[in-house]
Structure 1
Amino acid sequence: MHESFPFRTLDVLPVVEGRRVLVRVDFNVPVDDQDQVTDDTRIRGALDTLMELRRRGAELILMSHRGRPKGWGGASMEVVVPRLSELLECDVAFIDDIAGDRAAKKAASLRPADVLLLQNLRYDPGEKAGDRDFARRLAALGEFYVNDAFGTAHRADASVALLPTLLPGYAGRLMTHELLILSQLLHDAEHPYWAVVGGSKVSDKVELLDALLDRVDGLAVGGGMANTFLVAEGYDMGASKVESEAVKTAKRLLDKAAAKKVPLLLPERVTAAKDFKPDAEHRVAKPGELGADEMALDVAPEAVDKMLETMTGARTVLWNGPMGVFEWDAFSEGTLRMAEGLANSSARVVVGGGDSVAAVARAGVQDRLFHVSTGGGATLEFLQGKPLPGVEALINSIKG
């Protein structure tokens, strides 16, 4: 067992040569119209675990979900096979079955270092329902269980929360690394510690912001949620998207930050437009100086620079959420400027959340940041101090 964790890792996995190992991976990857994988980050994330298990002679049975299919069909896992085979440098078998007779027969035919990918777990309603009978049928395919899908650790799905109660469970290399980095951030971050939080809604991140204000030395807020904070401070934000029902919450968080003497930075300039569309004409304006028909769609680059300047000297930075509508070039500059600025800083920068990950990838700075988390909701819930069902299941897993 890893000295930092109360669960077993691959370091203590018994001899697995010629034995079947069920591996929960997160291959929920995007594909284009030709079913070609357009971003293989999640596949690459599992390679350390999969290659290690193959070297050890295990017979691998991989399980994942992809998308939100309604019943059997659509979002097939088969589209992952070509890229996975290429990255593993071996043939990967696929079976259009999950835990039925065909899957069992195929699993029984595996030889050491073989790799079999099952069909989309979510084709079976038992996965999302956390159905124990479905979990038993999955467990019958293997002898050991490895969870390397940190991005799903916050879900109580059958393959995540129940399989470790039926098979001896172990954390894969990606899972272990994510929990090591995020545990340090939660319990032992080097100070000064700043957080940069963006995204569209305050209501989606109230618990995260509350938790961060108890731990950080400073907080910068951007994205659409900054509009709600600015309204709470008394600014007229014109036609900007504002959560009127969350203004009181924003005011409470501002008061909490003031009481704790934690600087809470809001944009001093925004990029505003009259139309919510990619090619809308836009201008830079101060909060409170927007026309009645103008909306803030990005934090202006000079305002991002001011935030970065204020954070100079930070030893740790957590970034979650974009500064604006970064999918549109005209309103991406704030997010890209933040990505570049953090990459140029001397701080340990941890990026968590799907949109933030996409932003640093677009900026091309992933390799210059300390850690880019593969978890979205799992990362946020862990940093709020919430127990994750997938991790709790590994902690309480049966002995091998």
Structure 2
Amino acid sequence: MWAASGAVSDSWQPSGATFPVSVFREGEWVQQGKVVPDVISLSAGNGNVYAGSFGGGIFTFRDGAPVLQEKPLGRDRIGGLAADQNGNLWATAFGATQQQLLFKNKSGNWNGFTVPYFLPYNAVSQILIDDYDQKWMAAPLGGGVIVMNHGTHADDPRDDRWKQLLSGAGRGNLPSPQVYCLAKDRDGWIWIGTSRGIGVFQCAQDVFAANACETWLPVVRTDAFAGYLFQNEEVLSIAVDGANRKWVGTRNGAWLTSADGSRILQHFHTGNSPLPDNTVQRIAIDPVTGEVFFGTGNGLVSWRGEATEGSETQGGEVLVFPNPVPSGYTGTIAVRGLVRDAYVKITDVSGKLVFQTRAQGGQAVWNGRDYTGFRPQSGVYLVLASDAAGKEKIVSKLVFIR
């Protein structure tokens, strides 16, 4: 997990200060090389980590050390970065009057594309690449979302296609044209965070079609009340966990919603958690451990999440921890490394069912109690998992000490 401490103000001006770029390894943060100015975006690709600086261009890190600083086409304000599956690096140039979208091919050559729409202050920030290699760009000062398809070859502009999504029916139906963040979920849907909540674009493959769908606004239900998801919140960050649930950073803390956004599952703020600030600017999730990292202006904190990335088939090693479960332990027991969304049963050696659940992505959790609410007897228990086809197998054993 990499992190950077940028310090761009609400006016989107670089502070001129320098901050470390760090990586989380073996339980501690380690600074990587020299400090760099105002890093506000990070991306990994081609064995490198790229840091986008708001005033210093792009820094490339290899093996933990900075090896290159570039100001592509003279652009030094980098709003967002994304590496595609073909080994190309894409970047947005915040405030540039032309060539706001930058592209570095595998040969190391830079090219630029000018957005053919009006953008207030030429502001473009985060960039996301969808399942169809299309580029989605957030315009945080009122330009909505810009979508670009470069056609057969990125270096040939003749078959480029562009589209702008704004608020209002027939124009994109965003909840607000002030777009702060983008995320792609496990269904390929694009989740769009704005100054007035979240919109979801469900037909990325048809975004340029004449009859393409418009942004859908999820409705969340709480008791007898129903309303648009985060309609009164500025959504600053969205992250998708292994169970396709959405973690949302706002100026009112961090939230966890169900996969479709219809239910609020968790809400962390300074009053009920160690969160150092209620303005959560970035959220990132470790896909292996499920740990959720919250970035704020007053520091970084993490929470051990329940969902991890699941595999397509049950073939790898399954980790159960703690194992053995010591006497007096009252925490949760995790089963990690499962096939995605597996059905999990825990039985005694005779086959009597003690507990069953469904994994969140690739991890299932158990509170250590059976269906009667009591802690099981000391002994060896079997952990069985079945995939979507119903094929079941023993994946691990668990020792319980009462």
Specify the TM-score bucket, using the shorter chain as the normaliser.
under 0.3
Name the structure, 1 or 2, with higher relative contact order (CA <8 Å, separation 6+): 1
Instruction: With the length of structure 1 as denominator, give the TM-score of the two structures.
Output: 0.23
Q: Which has the higher helix share?
A: 1
Q: Which has the higher strand share?
A: 2
Instruction: With the length of structure 2 as denominator, give the TM-score of the two structures.
Output: 0.23
